[in-house]
Structure 1
Amino acid sequence: MIDLLLVHGVVITMDEQRRILKDGAVAIHNGRIIEVQDTEVLFGKYEAKRVIDCKHHCVLPGFIDAHGHGGHSMFKTVAMEDPSLWMPIMTETYKHYVTDDFWYYEGKLSALERLRAGVTTGVCVLGSMPRSDEPIFALNHAKAYAEVGIREIVATGPCNPPWPHPFSRWIDGKRVTNEVTYEKVLQGAEAVIEALNHSHDDRIRTFITPFVIVTSVDPSYPTPADMLYGLTDHDRYQSKRIREIARKYNTRIHSDAFGGMIHLAFQDKENALLGPDVHLQHCRGISFDEARILAETGTNVSTSASFGQVNARTPVTELIEMGVTVAISTDGTSPCTSFDMFQAMRKTQMYHQAALKDESYLPSGKLLEMVTIDAARCVGWADELGSLEPGKKADIITVDMNSPHLAPELMYVHRLVHQAVASDVDNVIVNGQLVLENRQVLHVDEKQSLAEALSEAEQTIKRAGLEKYTQQSKYFWGHARGYSEGKRYEN
């Protein structure tokens, strides 16, 4: 007797043949898929402990969000009206004003939002820049994801110079600040990897994650070619140490990159943070020769749709045509981005079609690949995730198509990509276990989790003095453009 049988669904397999079974079934046992076939074939073949009728549902692999941030879910829209200040505000908050418990409550909130959006695996960089001076932050975050029941890839590693770097921890309600060395944060990252990688029945993995692959240029925007003076001693040392840690723990490398960084990183070919075991977020404003380096080294790319694509685009279509694996990520959730992968697909298509002035780019099927099987390749987990095939982990979502905005039930992939929203996800299965059933969260008390998150967010906002960044400006109503009201952020 098998554990679970899904029947009468439109099964979008994302397997090598990209089969779509209009009356399909999926047989699941011991956390894995054992067969995917027409319902009439599997109904008579297997006796199951539980049968779920998926009529009027699409059945497909769980979404994989290849880049997001732990912490941001507590601060959705905070400082949204002050976008130039947002990064320094959030960075300072994460470094000095969050408690150890903050990461647990935020992790619950983050995991619940992803769960309800059909994200069964999500990457989390802790903070706006990674913070690894104390392992407890990552341990608490992973604990929350494990309790909710979805997979988390904890991205842990050092932020940028200067070093030593001040970080604060709250002990008995009091702020204690210490100057932390670079070696200390690397030790913290190693402790996290050692404790969490492949933990919780392999639902939690960890990647070593420096903030950016080259620290000596602008960390958030492309650097002009005439400002690329070469790698510094710290750039080279960081690459060497990150490579050592990745080899020691047999884990992958994740980082951010912008135009100019790939050119510089490639100068240290022995330790460059490039290659099949690396995936780089953003890659906005990279040159053609940098795209060629990514293709030649087999480096994976994840990209999110944001206003930054207008000023410096990730050459997504060009990278795909050169053979690079590119995944769509949310970079969620703050200040104005959700974990809704349906929105992420549509926004990605819109930005790149507009930039290229060509509506034929990024067809619907490719977009769905970029949040399932391509995303699984990007994070190095395609052997077990990203498609519905025998032997793979049973990470599956069902989407209720019996709604006016998705009816009539035709052209299923097109409907999912262009009309579906996160709240259409009806059931979520991870490792063969139901974690969302008929839109009901099964493993944690959702209302209590939301209340705890609200309380912790309010305390953190007060502690960090962020109240003024939660207020509407005088330009909020009736104006075509917002302006500064003279706010200044001081550390």
Structure 2
Amino acid sequence: MVDLVVSGAYVITMDGTRRVIPDGAVAIAAGRIVAVGSSAEIEATHPGAPSLDAAGKVMMPGLIDVHAHAGHGLIKTMGMEDGDRWERICGEVYTQASPPEFWYAEARLAAMERLRFGVTCGVSLLGGGDTIMRTDDPAYGAAHCEGVAAIGTRSVVAVGPTRAPHPRTYASRDADDRAAPYPVDFERQMESCRTLIRDWHGRGTVNLALLYSVLRDEHETTMPAADYAEAVRQAKSVRAASRELGVLFTQDGHWRGSIRRAAALGLLGPDALLSHCIDIDRDEIALSAETGTRIAHNPSAIASILGRCPAIELMEAGTVVAIGSDATAPDRSADMFRHVQQAMHYHRRHFCDPSVLPPGKALEMVTIDAAEALGMADTIGSLEVGKAADLILIDMQRPHLYPVNMEPFRVAYFANGNDVDTVLVGGEILLQGGRPVRTDMAGVLADAQREAERMIARIGAEDMLGLPDGFWSRARYPETQAEGDRP
């Protein structure tokens, strides 16, 4: 007996043949897809089953975001026009001003945003992936995982140590919300990560990944020799732990020779996901393909302004490339339709060729290719028998999506996250009619607002809430504000 039949939709399956079914349906039992076909066929095979009418909608696999940041959702836009102040705010918050309640509230907000936009699975780095991770104590990661689990979307939570040198100063908050600083070394962070993996990996909709900061050529000359040698040791240690524990290994911020360096350190492989990868060389493209390493391309990120990710060349070499939002750091949301459209324009402008990155391939990069990049293609990423019933319904009854024809083109070029009407994860309806079913959105928003205000007060950043000089009536910000790091 099936639990639910969803019928009457234009179905984009993303299966091996990329089958589309104009009047299609899926049957779901115990959270899995048990049949995919025409509405007439499925309804005849499962008469009397509970049903959901999806007429006038496009059904497709839930979208997958392969690179984003936990914590940033309560800091978005703060200080982004003032040099590297955004980075400094993140560093201060993630080490000194973010109790578990902060991580719980931000996790629920980010997961709710994903749910509303039809993103059923996403990677979330527990802090800033390049330098500061909130892994001094497992309580923070646990609070994040609990927040995601409360919403019900899937998440791959990336944890890892802050790059050498150590110790780093972190702080907990006492009953009066006063900071209590303490030193944190590499071993303590790794023990925290192992605890989180033991407690949360594979629990419900949550999985864990391990992360270590990218080592670039510049670090060998800018870091003291002893610190650089220790960073190399740590990188190898974290990578060995990812293999031992059977979790994804990821890195944030590859560029200009860093993939070559990662290869020399033995970090690459089909269970490795490298983010950004801008201005990499031809030999690095070849290394990625030869080792089966996966790439998270973030076309809307500031890094993709400062350099170019050769996603087209990587895919043509045989590398799996998927799209990440890099949300919400600091000027972009988790709306994966936005990033699909950005990716197409980004590469077409580079090649001055509108035939580059066809819309179907771009949609693959947020569904089946993204599932492959996470090592989860056996479970999610397409609508096929045996896979988890993670699917979304896009409401086509909207002026910007009309007339209703050529639906895959309409979805790729014109849809946005607010067009998502219904979301199922593991067969459970989490969003219907554009509204969450399991969780009260007003409560999630109120909790996020309260924790953001507390965080701002802790770091004394009230001045960041106004409009900066140059916001109005200028073609660009003053030079001192434009000079920043690579978020």
Q: In the superposition, relative to structure 1, how do residues 337 and 34 fare at CA in structure 2: closer, same or farther (>3 Å)?
A: same
Question: Given residue 9 of structure 1, which amino acid in structure 2 is its aligned partner?
Answer: A
Question: Given residue 208 of structure 2, which amino acid in structure 1 is its aligned partner?
Answer: T
The answer as to whether partners of 1:5 and 1:48 remain within 8 angstroms in 2 is no
- 2:120 aligned partner: 120
CA RMSD of aligned residues (A): 2.2
Distance 2:469 2:269 in 1: 49
1:38 aligns to 2:38 (yes or no): yes
Q: Map residues 232-251 of structure 1 onto 2, 5 A cutoff.
A: 232-251=228-247
- 2:211 aligned partner: 209
By how many angstroms is 1:77 displaced? 1.6
Question: Given residue 358 of structure 1, which amino acid in structure 2 is its aligned partner?
Answer: D
Among 165, 169, 173, the alignment partner of 1:166 is 169
For the residue of structure 1 that corresponds to 2:26, the secondary structure is strand
- 1:76 aligned partner: 76
By how many angstroms is 1:131 displaced? 2.3
Question: Given residue 277 of structure 2, which amino acid in structure 1 is its aligned partner?
Answer: C
Among 415, 418, 421, the alignment partner of 1:420 is 415
- 1:281 aligned partner: 275
- 1:255 aligned partner: 251
Among 427, 431, 436, the alignment partner of 2:431 is 436
By how many angstroms is 1:106 displaced? 0.5
- 2:22 aligned partner: 22
Distance 2:47 2:150 in 1: 30
By how many angstroms is 1:231 displaced? 11
Distance 1:283 1:487 in 2: 22
For the residue of structure 2 that corresponds to 1:284, the secondary structure is coil
- 2:284 aligned partner: 290
The answer as to whether partners of 1:428 and 1:435 remain within 8 angstroms in 2 is yes
By how many angstroms is 1:69 displaced? 0.5
For the residue of structure 2 that corresponds to 1:444, the secondary structure is coil
Question: Given residue 207 of structure 1, which amino acid in structure 2 is its aligned partner?
Answer: A
By how many angstroms is 1:239 displaced? 3.2
Question: Given residue 348 of structure 1, which amino acid in structure 2 is its aligned partner?
Answer: A
- 1:133 aligned partner: 136
1:401 aligns to 2:360 (yes or no): no
Q: Map residues 457-468 of structure 1 onto 2, 5 A cutoff.
A: 457-468=452-463
1:266 aligns to 2:268 (yes or no): no
Q: In the superposition, relative to structure 1, how do residues 448 and 475 fare at CA in structure 2: closer, same or farther (>3 Å)?
A: same
Q: In the superposition, relative to structure 1, how do residues 231 and 42 fare at CA in structure 2: closer, same or farther (>3 Å)?
A: farther
Q: Map residues 8-407 of structure 1 onto 2, 5 A cutoff.
A: 8-47=8-47, 49-129=49-129, 130-172=133-175, 173-200=177-204, 203-212=205-214, 214=215, 217=218, 232-256=228-252, 257-268=254-265, 272-305=266-299, 306-407=301-402
The answer as to whether partners of 2:9 and 2:54 remain within 8 angstroms in 1 is yes
By how many angstroms is 1:251 displaced? 1.2
TM-score normalised by structure 2 residue count: 0.94
The answer as to whether partners of 2:161 and 2:190 remain within 8 angstroms in 1 is yes
Distance 2:121 2:238 in 1: 24
The answer as to whether partners of 2:276 and 2:303 remain within 8 angstroms in 1 is no
Distance 1:434 1:480 in 2: 46
Q: How many pairs are equivalent? A: 477
Task: Provide structure 2 residue ranges, at least 5 long, that are not aligned to the other structure.
Answer: none
The answer as to whether partners of 1:7 and 1:25 remain within 8 angstroms in 2 is yes
Q: Deviations over 1:244-280 (max 9, x none)?
A: 3123321111112222111112223xxx210001111
Question: Given residue 372 of structure 1, which amino acid in structure 2 is its aligned partner?
Answer: T
TM-score normalised by structure 1 residue count: 0.93
- 1:471 aligned partner: 466
Runs of 4+ in 1 over 6 A off after TM superposition: 484-489
Q: In the superposition, relative to structure 1, how do residues 486 and 262 fare at CA in structure 2: closer, same or farther (>3 Å)?
A: closer
Q: In the superposition, relative to structure 1, how do residues 216 and 168 fare at CA in structure 2: closer, same or farther (>3 Å)?
A: farther
Deviates more, 1:474-483 or 1:168-177: 474-483
Task: Provide structure 1 residue ranges, at least 5 long, that are not aligned to the other structure.
Answer: none
By how many angstroms is 1:60 displaced? 0.4
Question: Given residue 439 of structure 2, which amino acid in structure 1 is its aligned partner?
Answer: V
By how many angstroms is 1:236 displaced? 3.3
By how many angstroms is 1:128 displaced? 1.6
Q: In the superposition, relative to structure 1, how do residues 123 and 487 fare at CA in structure 2: closer, same or farther (>3 Å)?
A: closer
Distance 2:294 2:360 in 1: 19
Q: In the superposition, relative to structure 1, how do residues 157 and 44 fare at CA in structure 2: closer, same or farther (>3 Å)?
A: same
Identity of aligned residues (%): 36
For the residue of structure 1 that corresponds to 2:67, the secondary structure is coil
Distance 1:178 1:254 in 2: 28
